[in-house]
Every structure is written in C-alpha cells, then in structure tokens.
C-alpha cells in the first residue's frame, strides 16, 4: 500500500479539501502526511473519502496533519498533535504497529534557535515512540541532501543535489543519531521524479520533501518518487512511497440502523388520511393467536399497536431521506480545475512564456470560479431564509439562522479509548460509547446498601381519564426525535381515532395491571458535545430518547406525583415547579447581597455541586423516600415499575450499540425524573438541622435550590461548615456525592477582611470573588457590572456568528430586526430583571445595541462616500422598544409578579425583610427598588403597590411603558 507526504500550501482555500481527496484517490494513496494545512483548530474532520487529522495553530498558518482513507482509518490507534510543525499518527499493524510523524521544518533562512528547537522537539517525540514500532518521518524538511560519501549509509546514491544545505546537515545528523535512513534518496529515478519543490519563477527545482524510516525496517519501503501530475495549486509535488507492511485484518459487524420516518408528509391532508386509514385497517385485524381469547396481554397489545404504526409508516410515509448536501463543487468547477492542471502539466514539461501565461490565466480563472460558486450558494441559502420568513415558515427560518450562527461543524467519526488511543471504526466507536455510558450510569460507589421495603397495595390514585390522555397528546410538541420504536408524536396525533383509543386502553391497562412493555424500558442515548476535545467521551453529555407512548404514560404519572409533591416540597426549591424560575433565586441572592452589603454585614455563601446528581440517585432510597413523604402508594408502585429493568443503547452516526442495563439513577429525558429528584433532595434537606421557615434575615442559615444547584447562605464560616456537613450526610443516604472541585465558597463583606478557601473535613472548597449562579454572575461586592459585562461578551460572540446575515443585502430589514429581537437580544436580557442600572451601564448597553443596528441598517452614502449612521438616524429607522427600555419593562413585570407572590416565598421574604446591622457613613448604593420606582415616577404612576394586585391593570401599564419614549 502507498503512503505519501505533500505540502498542500493551504486547505483553507475554497474546494481545496475536495481536490485533495480527488488527487489522493487518483494516485491510490492510503495515508498521506500533510503540511501547511492552515486550519486554525486542532481537530479531526471526516470528509467523503478521507479523514483529516490536523495539528493547527492559533492563526491560519503552517499546520501539519494526516489524510487517512476510510479503508485505513479503522487501523488508527493514536493521533498526537504536538504543535503546528509536528504531529504523530500510529496505525495498528499485524506484527508491529506503524508510527508516522508529519513534520514541517523551518526554512533554510530561519534563525538557528528555531531550527534547534524544532529538532529538539522532534527528538523528544521520536524517543517517545515504542521501540518495536515501524518508525517513519515524512514531510517538508526544507533540506537539500547531497551525495557525500561520508553520509552514504543514511542517504544512498540517488539524491537530486550534489551538496547538503544547512537543513540537510541537520536532517542527516538526526537520521544518523536515530539510526534512520533517508529513503527518498535511495531509489534511482529521473531527475523530474526526484524534484519535490519548484520556485515561483519555475527555474529552481529542489528535492526538499523527504521520507525517513528506521534502518531496521528500511527494506519495507519498495520505492519513493515524486508525482508532478498531482495538482492542488501548491509549489510542492506529491511524494509517494510504496510500503510493504502488513496491516492487522479486522472484521466488524454493523450496528443496528436507526429508522426515522418522513413524518413531514403528514402535513398533507391526503397523506394523513391514507396513513390513518391504513392504521385503522391493520388494527381491525386481530392476530390468529387471539381469536379465541380477547384478554390479550400488555406486551402483545403493544406489539400489535407498534406493528400497525410502523407498517403504515413504511408503506405510506417511507423513511426520511438523508439531506443531500447543497454543494457548490459541480461539474463546471471540476472541468475548470482539470484545465488548470493540464496547463500546469504543459508548463512543467516545457516552460515558455506562453505556457506560463496560460497556466496563470487558468489558475486565476479556477480561483475566481470557486469563489463565485461559493458566493452563489450562500446567496441561494440566504434567499431561501428570506422566503421562509416571508411565508411564516418559522421553524425553517430559525433553523437556517442557527446554521449560520453555529457555522461549519465538521463530521466527527472517532473517539479515544480509556487508555487515550484513537478509535475510528464504527463498530469500535459504538462499543466505546457503550462502555463509557455503561460505566457512567452504573457507578458502584453511588449504590446505597439495603433492600427495598414492601410498598402498600393501596389503589389511592385515580387512573387517567380519556380527557387526560387527549390533553397530554395535544400538549406534546411535534418534530421531536423518537425512541427505539421510531414512533413520533405526529403519528399518534394523525393516526386516527381508533389508534388513540387503542393507545389509551394500553396505558390504562399498564396503570391498572402495573406491567409495562419491554420497549418502554429502553433509552436511546445520543452523545452531545459540551466543550473541550471532541475525542474524549467525558466531554459529551447524553440525551436520552424514550418511547413516545411511554412519555404520554409518564406525563400522566408525573401529574399525580407533582400534585402530591407540591404539598411536601419546601419553598427553597424552584426547579421544575409551576410559576417558578431561575429568576426567583437570582433575585433572592441579589437582594440579600444588597441588604447585607448596605448594612455592613458579612454573608457567607457555599454553592454546592453534586456529582452526576440525576444519575447517582439510589432507586431503593427513592422508593423509601416516596413512602416517607406519603406519596400515594399506587403512584409509588408505578414509579418503581418505570425504573425496574431499564436498559439503554447508544446511537452514533445513525447506528445503535448493543443494549446494557442501567441500575442506578433516574432516567434522563423521563418526564417524572425532575419531580422525583426534588423529592429526594427534600428528604435529604429534612435529614439536616436546617429550619425551612423564615429567611437569612432572622436565622443563621438559609438554603436555595434549583433542581441540583444548591446554595447555602449563612452569617458565619462556622455555620457554613455545620450546614454543609449535615447536608452532605443527608444527601449521601440517597447516593448524592458532593463535587469538591465545582463547589465554591464566596464571602460578601465591606470590611476589607480577606477570606480564602474553606476547609470542611476532607474537602477544601475554593474561595472565589465571583461565581456564576444559575447563569448570572454574583460577586463578593455585589457588583452588577460584572454580569452586564458577561452578557455583553456573550452577545458579541453571538453577533460575530450571525453578522454576515445581518449585513446581507438579500435579507430584508424586517427579518434582520426579527433575528435581533429573538436571537441576539435574549442573550443580553437573561437575568436583567434583577439588575440595578447606572448611567454608565445604560450607555454600554445602548452602545452595544447601536452596533447591532448599524449592521442591520448599514451605512449612508453621502457625497459619494459611505459613512456610519448617526444615533438619531438609527432610532428613526428602528421604531421598536430599545434594549434598555426592554430591561426596565422586564423589571416592572417582575415587580408586579413579586407583589402578587405569596408571603411564604423566598423572594417576597427578602424583598420585605431587613437583616439588621447599621449602615456605615457615606452615600449608599442605589437599591433595586429605588431604581424601579424612578422608572414609575417617569411614567407618572402613583400608588403603584395597589395597582400590582390587578394583573390585567398591571399588564396595561407594561404596554404603556413599552410605548413610552425615553424610559
């Protein structure tokens, strides 16, 4: 098989990666070392026929890597990016592995220090390769090798040059020291097949790209030569070597293919009628085994319903076709590139002024055509986006906006194994993902000893009615990924009345008999990248897909659990509860910090993070918890049913792995999981000595929780330690473990005292001066400016991603304003209900908004010159509510909500309460309420407290505020 090295000069240019694939296929290269890739990130990108391993730099310069064919990628066991000049790739061989190092040495004119650093790093990498590996170094050494007799054992007799240059001496010294052979100068060839680089003027031609191999395996290389016909618009030629080295033969089975039906056809009335009619026809047929007995079991009844839906979907809807990539690389581009290559070949054979001029013209034409085709594609995409906006196809419109915002996302087809090696084969990938989630979701140290007690047999929960079922089915959102059975919500909604009746009867039967179909216990886990290296499984979170029919059953069950849970849950918990949100706790924290700081009191805060909170819950402990909290026994038994014998599969690249059992934790994506976690945390809180009544203003400790995000607020470090110790002990009973690294400690004080880390038993919690709590930045000085800066930075990143769309002339201004108000502005507005705005803050926010508006409305032509629009000109065009006005209206909305809130709620308690203490001398900071009251005074609103109790009247006031200029 063939390996090669090629300085491609750039893969950043339009169509370069596509052309690279064509040339490597043409010359039958399986693995190629690449130089000057010029991709910014170190990443792995899957192309159509090859996978690119790239070791890049912060800027689009240099960059080395490898192109590995799809046939060979399954043998890759390790890729190690060193820097932009060196990277390492290891392949699995039959008798010994093969290590290839791609290098790009400094030029001959580079500083001596740079050259020495390069070879020192190369030596370090080479010495780290296992001794038994076949070792090859390929790349652009910028080294001319002569024919000196003294170096003949390393360089042979067939170099293109008579004398070495400085880089040549350095390369030969390295080869001699490491007992390597410069294979590229060992094989006799024509001069034109030794040359690897041509100067811009076409006169100078050197052999500076080389392939080195360790002497022990030198005979494995059968031939090395350059190929001038390979064209990627580079001044280097392809250097190919024939390698005689056996690769380990691997045979793999295929994972099960996921089947996704074309449910979008159900939007057509004829298709809906055909689909519903087919299902009704199939459901009317009774299986022969049930003709004598009408009492069919749950499993059989489910299989009959599932079979009818799936068969109807296959016949009427068909499988959803894979979206064809809208590529600009067409036959015209391919023909132009072929003409460029032919002109280049003529110039290389016999360079004349005419041939050189012809090549320059064809080269320029090819570049211009590639750019033109790419721009035309972008134009078509933008025009389609505008058409979707005009025709109110909001789903497609925002999907197009999201695609622009996210940018190019390379396909990724490999991960690291537990030892750090790379896995590229599909089957091996699936097995690795299965092992990762199996170990993650069945952590033994999360188990709690003990046996589950007997659950009473009381039937103290009414079964769901048909109206309940219809309401849930209508409430469920469409366009959601289905579970293992491939049944979507749309199929149930448009499957006809007979199907709905059958599904309801099945759910009722499961409720009454407490037996569940096996398919309902299966979760399909889809890994979603969070941040960090895409090779590490730990940098992904799993999103579980459950059976749609099971989710209907679970929602009906969750309603019963929630009704019972609302009676027992404390006010500290705002997660997944009706009428509560993250703003409740963000506001509570800001007001507490504001009042403690104003009255010269210290406030100690410990932000507790649990390891894998939902995945570590003891199921035995959960059932005991539900019994202790007097959750109806019938509901408890049904919860126990949903968690018994649960299994999971992992879906990657359209295929699913083998299933594995999950014995710990709650099911991710299950509608009942959030409220079940709240019950467990409630029980853990009850185990500790924390008084749930009052607030931090009248006691030493207060705790807030949003799902698993827990904040302990105390008046002293001692109280913090005591409260945490009791919380940790109570949580451990149910399998929850504290994550020491992510748990942070912060103290708010104005006395100039310094507080470091907090030591509690075996834990050392880092002391911080600011912390992101539920998405909002809280600081030890209660400075809102930090949070505003964070929001503006996030807004700038979002603006940078969609700036091209906002400036595109094919998108209407109205559509651009819609994008701004629905995509950009919400990034700035999160948590803004709790802000106290200074004049400087308002100026910063207005400045950011005007920057966006200038992108939307563009410049003005004045006297034949472009100039930016002035502020007044922008607001004459933009007649909508300004960003600062939206923030102030949001605060007024929250004020009304706050005054209508129960006195037992935490935000209401801290809003009306006082912590004691004395305010020091000097002008106090502006309070939140004072800032909001100033807005009400501008509007001329009096007796506003009385008006907040009238929701409709307060909504009318908010509409007035939106229309008020200068708020």
DSSP 128-145: TS-TTSEEEEEEE-----
> What is the structure's pLDDT at 384?
86
- Does 220 share its domain with 88? yes
Q: How many separate domains does the chain show?
A: 4
- Does 600 share its domain with 697? yes
> What is the structure's pLDDT at 286?
65
> What is the structure's pLDDT at 326?
60
CATH number of the structural domain spanning residue 224: 3.60.10.10
> What is the structure's pLDDT at 449?
47
- Does 736 share its domain with 878? no
Q: How many H-runs (helices) and E-runs (strands) does the chain carry?
A: 29, 33
Low pLDDT (below 70) residues in the chain: 42, 248-256, 286-296, 323-326, 407-413, 425, 443-454, 456-457, 459, 688-694
- Do residues 238 and 224 make contact, with C-beta atoms less than 8 angstroms apart? no
- Does 738 share its domain with 866? no
| Closest by CA position to 608, among listed 440, 723, 441 | 723
pLDDT digits (tens, 9 = 90+) for 785-843: 999 999 999 999 999 888 988 998 888 999 999 999 999 999 999 999 999 999 999 99
Is 871 inside a domain boundary? yes
Dihedral sign of CA atoms 785, 791, 795, 798 in order = positive
Query: What is the β-pairing status of strands 709-714 and 603-608?
Result: antiparallel
Q: Which of 392, 420, 444 is the last residue of a domain?
A: 392
- Does 864 share its domain with 893? yes
- Does 816 share its domain with 708? no
- Do residues 825 and 886 make contact, with C-beta atoms less than 8 angstroms apart? yes
Is 278 inside a domain boundary? no
- Does 64 share its domain with 212? yes
Q: If you search the block for the tokens 């909500």, which residue do you land on?
A: 897
Is 684 inside a domain boundary? yes
Q: Which of 213, 243, 273 is the last residue of a domain?
A: 243
pLDDT digits (tens, 9 = 90+) for 419-463: 777 777 677 788 888 988 998 888 654 444 455 566 766 767 789
- Does 798 share its domain with 699? no
- Does 102 share its domain with 156? yes
Is 759 inside a domain boundary? yes
Is 520 inside a domain boundary? no
> What is the structure's pLDDT at 392?
83
Q: Which of 761, 779, 797 is the last residue of a domain?
A: 779
Q: Is 505 helix (H, G, I), strand (E, B) or coil?
A: helix
- Does 757 share its domain with 817? no
DSSP 521-552: GEEEEEEEE-SS-TT-GGGEEEEEE--HHHHH
Domain that holds residue 697: 580-633+664-779
Is 640 inside a domain boundary? no
Is 625 inside a domain boundary? yes
CA dihedral 797, 800, 801, 802 (to 10 degrees): 130
CA gap 76, 92 in Å, rounded = 6
* pTM given for the model: 0.82
- Does 743 share its domain with 838? no
CATH number of the structural domain spanning residue 674: 3.30.70
DSSP 554-588: HHHHHHHHHHHHHHH--TTB-TT-TT--HHHHHHH
CA gap 682, 695 in Å, rounded = 17
- Does 723 share its domain with 824? no
Is 249 inside a domain boundary? no
């Amino acid at each position: 098989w063939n390996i090669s090295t090629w300085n491609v000069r750039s893969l950043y240019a339009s169509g370069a990666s596509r052309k690279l694939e064509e040339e490597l296929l043409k010359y039958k290269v399986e693995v190629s070392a690449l130089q000057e890739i010029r991709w910014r990130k170190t990443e792995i990108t899957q192309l159509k026929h090859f996978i690119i391993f790239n070791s890049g730099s912060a800027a689009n310069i240099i960059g080395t890597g490898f192109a590995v064919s799809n046939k060979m990628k399954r043998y890759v066991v390790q890729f190690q990016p060193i820097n932009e000049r060196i990277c390492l790739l290891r392949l699995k061989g039959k008798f010994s592995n093969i290590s290839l190092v791609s290098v790009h040495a400094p030029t001959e004119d580079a500083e001596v220090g740079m050259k020495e650093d390069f070879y020192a790093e190369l030596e370090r990498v080479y010495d780290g390769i296992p001794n038994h590996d076949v070792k090859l170094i390929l790349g652009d050494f910028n080294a001319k090798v002569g024919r000196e007799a003294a170096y003949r054992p390393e360089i042979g007799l067939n170099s293109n040059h008579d004398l070495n240059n400085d880089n040549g001496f350095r390369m030969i010294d390295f080869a001699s020291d490491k007992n390597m052979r410069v294979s590229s100068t060992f094989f006799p060839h024509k001069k034109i097949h030794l040359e690897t680089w041509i100067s811009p003027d076409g006169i100078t031609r050197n052999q500076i790209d080389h392939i080195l191999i360790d002497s022990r395996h030198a005979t494995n290389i059968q031939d090395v030569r350059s190929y001038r016909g390979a064209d990627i618009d580079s001044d280097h030629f392809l250097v190919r070597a024939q390698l005689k080295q056996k690769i380990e033969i691997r045979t793999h089975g295929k994972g099960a293919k996921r089947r996704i039906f074309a449910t979008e056809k159900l939007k057509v009335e004829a298709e809906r009628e055909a689909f519903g009619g087919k299902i009704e026809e199939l459901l009317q047929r009774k299986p022969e085994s049930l003709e004598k007995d009408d009492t069919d079991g749950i499993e059989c009844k489910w299989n009959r319903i599932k079979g009818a839906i799936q068969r109807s979907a296959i016949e009427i809807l068909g499988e959803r076709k894979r979206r064809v990539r809208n590529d600009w690389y067409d036959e015209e581009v391919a023909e132009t590139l072929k003409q460029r290559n032919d002109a280049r070949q003529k110039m290389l054979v016999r360079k004349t002024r005419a041939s050189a001029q012809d090549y320059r013209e064809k080269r320029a034409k090819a570049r211009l055509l590639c750019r033109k085709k790419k721009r035309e594609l972008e134009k078509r995409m933008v025009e389609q986006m505008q058409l979707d906006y005009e025709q109110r196809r909001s789903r497609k419109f925002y999907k197009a906006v999201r695609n622009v915002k996210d940018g190019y996302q390379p396909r990724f087809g490999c991960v690291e194994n537990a030892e750090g090696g790379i896995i590229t084969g599909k089957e091996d990938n699936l097995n690795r993902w299965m092992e990762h989630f199996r170990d993650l979701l069945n952590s033994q140290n999360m188990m709690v000893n003990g046996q589950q007690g007997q659950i009473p047999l009381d039937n103290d929960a009414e079964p769901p009615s048909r109206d309940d079922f219809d309401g849930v089915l209508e409430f469920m959102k469409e366009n959601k990924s289905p579970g293992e059975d491939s049944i979507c919500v749309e199929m149930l909604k448009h499957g006809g009345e007979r199907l709905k009746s059958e599904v309801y009867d099945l759910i009722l039967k499961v409720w009454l008999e407490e037996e569940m179909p096996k398919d309902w216990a299966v979760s399909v886990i889809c890994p979603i990248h969070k941040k960090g290296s895409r090779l590490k499984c730990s940098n992904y979170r799993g999103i579980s897909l459950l059976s749609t029919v099971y989710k209907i059953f679970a929602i009906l069950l969750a309603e019963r659990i929630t009704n019972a849970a609302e009676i027992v849950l404390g006010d500290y918990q705002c997660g997944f509860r009706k009428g509560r949100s993250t703003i409740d706790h963000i506001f509570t924290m800001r007001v507490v910090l504001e009042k403690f700081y104003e009255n010269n009191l210290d406030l100690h805060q410990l932000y507790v993070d649990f390891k894998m909170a939902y995945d570590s819950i003891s199921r035995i402990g959960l059932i005991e918890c539900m019994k202790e909290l007097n959750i109806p026994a019938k509901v408890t038994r049904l919860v126990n049913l949903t968690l018994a014998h649960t299994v999971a599969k992992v879906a990657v690249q359209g295929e699913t792995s083998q299933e594995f059992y999950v014995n710990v934790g709650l099911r991710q994506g299950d509608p009942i999981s959030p409220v079940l976690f709240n019950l467990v945390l409630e029980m853990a809180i009850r185990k500790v000595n924390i008084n749930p009544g009052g607030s931090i203003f009248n006691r030493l400790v207060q705790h807030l929780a949003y799902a698993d995000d827990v904040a302990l607020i105390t008046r002293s470090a001692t109280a913090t330690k005591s409260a945490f110790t009791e919380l940790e002990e109570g949580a451990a009973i149910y399998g929850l473990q504290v994550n020491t690294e992510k748990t942070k400690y912060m103290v708010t004080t104005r006395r100039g005292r310094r507080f470091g880390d907090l030591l509690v038993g075996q834990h050392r919690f880092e002391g911080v001066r600011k912390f992101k709590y539920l998405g909002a930045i809280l600081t030890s000085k209660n400075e809102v400016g930090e949070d505003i800066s964070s929001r503006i930075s996030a807004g700038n990143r979002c603006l940078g991603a969609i700036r091209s769309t906002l400036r595109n002339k094919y998108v209407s201004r109205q559509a651009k304003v819609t994008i701004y108000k629905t995509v950009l502005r919400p990034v700035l507005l999160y948590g803004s209900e709790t802000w106290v705005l200074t004049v400087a803050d308002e100026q910063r926010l207005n400045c950011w908004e005007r920057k966006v508006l200038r992108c939307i409305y563009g410049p003005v032509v004045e006297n034949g010159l472009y100039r930016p629009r002035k502020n007044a000109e922008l607001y004459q065009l933009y007649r909508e509510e300004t960003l600062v006005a939206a923030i102030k209206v949001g605060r007024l909305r929250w004020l009304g909500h706050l005054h209508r809130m129960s006195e037992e709620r935490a935000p209401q308690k801290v809003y009306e309460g006082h912590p004691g203490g004395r305010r020091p001398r000097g002008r106090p900071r502006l309070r939140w309420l004072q800032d909001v009251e100033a807005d009400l005074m501008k509007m001329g609103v009096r007796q506003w407290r009385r008006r907040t109790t009238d929701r409709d009247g307060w909504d009318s006031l908010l509409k007035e505020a939106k229309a008020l200029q200068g708020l």
